[in-house]
Amino acid sequence: MPLSREAAHYLFGVMRLGQGAELSVFNGADGEWDARVAEAGKKGGTLEPLAQSVPQWLPPDLWLMFAPVKKARTDFIVEKAVEMGVRRLLPVATDFTNSERIRQDRLQAHAREAAEQCGAVFVPEVAELSKLSAVLADWPDARRLMFCDEAAAGSSSALAGVFAEAEGPGPWAVLIGPEGGFSEAERTRLYGLPQAHVATLGPRILRAETAAVAALTLWQTRFGD
Ligand code: SAM
């Protein structure tokens, strides 16, 4: 199994592993494996797979759609979503989004690192930034959307109603807005989307990253595995 330059640098330059060292590896597609360093070089190397230690698994079919916020807070959202078992991350530009650009490659690397840190063998895809309106225009019929709206009346117990009316397994997505929340035009669009279930996370306005973790926790409590 050949190693990329970055992986070789990390294993042999940073971790100081040498030929014959044993380690655990995963590639996002074939579970986790015990492996041995067969060749160690500055710019590359190879690993010899020994035995599979964890079979490949897929997280539930849950997407997190979120408006990017400031860099460190967006990193936090990505990291926590990976830990919480999200299958796909969709950054979306909304009417009030402050960060109009993201480094998709950096966020994808961040997702990989988060998966490594928590022993997940699945690395979610981080999509390129898209406009919310474009994503909604093409929204899959079968995918339900938990639209977290701080302006929706009620308490978090309203979620029981959201989930009760959407019984059974099936793909879901959670939508979290930007620092400034959603515009009225976006709300109208979302309230009219048949797949959308408006969810309140309680009477307090949460920061975007807190809302993401709270919404994913509630979803996991009801549907997670
Ligand atoms: N200004 C703060 C910030 O910088 O993070 C608060 C932003 S809040 C408007 C961002 C998003 O979190 C909202 O658009 C919504 O999706 C979600 N959110 C926050 N509090 C919520 C609540 N009580 N119920 C439902 N969603 C909430």
- CB of 183 within 6 A of ligand 1: the answer is no
Of 215, 61, 222, nearest to 148 by C-alpha is: 215
* Locus of tokens 């592993």: 17
pLDDT at 167: 64
CA of residue 205 to ligand 1 center, whole Å: 5
CA of residue 152 to ligand 1 center, whole Å: 11
pLDDT at 163: 66
Q: Which ranges constitute the DSSP H helices of the chain?
A: 5-8, 71-83, 104-117, 132-137, 158-164, 184-191, 208-223
Question: What are the φ/ψ torsions at residue 38 (nearest 5 degrees)?
Answer: -90, -40
- CB of 181 within 6 A of ligand 1: the answer is yes
If you take atom 12 of ligand 1, which residue's CA is the nearest one? 208
pLDDT at 201: 87
pLDDT at 123: 93
pLDDT at 159: 63
pLDDT at 203: 84
- CB of 95 within 6 A of ligand 1: the answer is no
The one-digit pLDDT tens for each residue of the chain (225 residues) are 899 898 899 899 989 999 999 998 887 778 889 999 999 988 889 999 999 988 888 888 999 999 999 999 999 999 999 999 999 999 999 999 877 789 999 999 999 999 988 888 899 999 999 999 999 999 999 999 999 999 886 655 556 556 666 666 679 999 999 999 999 999 999 999 999 988 888 888 999 999 999 999 988 887 777
Three-class secondary structure of residue 47 per DSSP: strand
If you take atom 9 of ligand 1, which residue's CA is the nearest one? 181
Neighbours of 13 (CB within 10 A): 11
* Structure ipTM over 0.90, yes or no: yes
pLDDT at 57: 80
pLDDT at 137: 96
- CB of 148 within 6 A of ligand 1: the answer is yes
Q: Cα–Cα–Cα angle for 145, 221, 65, nearest 5°?
A: 30
If you take atom 6 of ligand 1, which residue's CA is the nearest one? 207
Q: Which domains does the chain show, CATH number per domain?
A: 5-54 (2.40.240.20), 62-223 (3.40.1280.10)
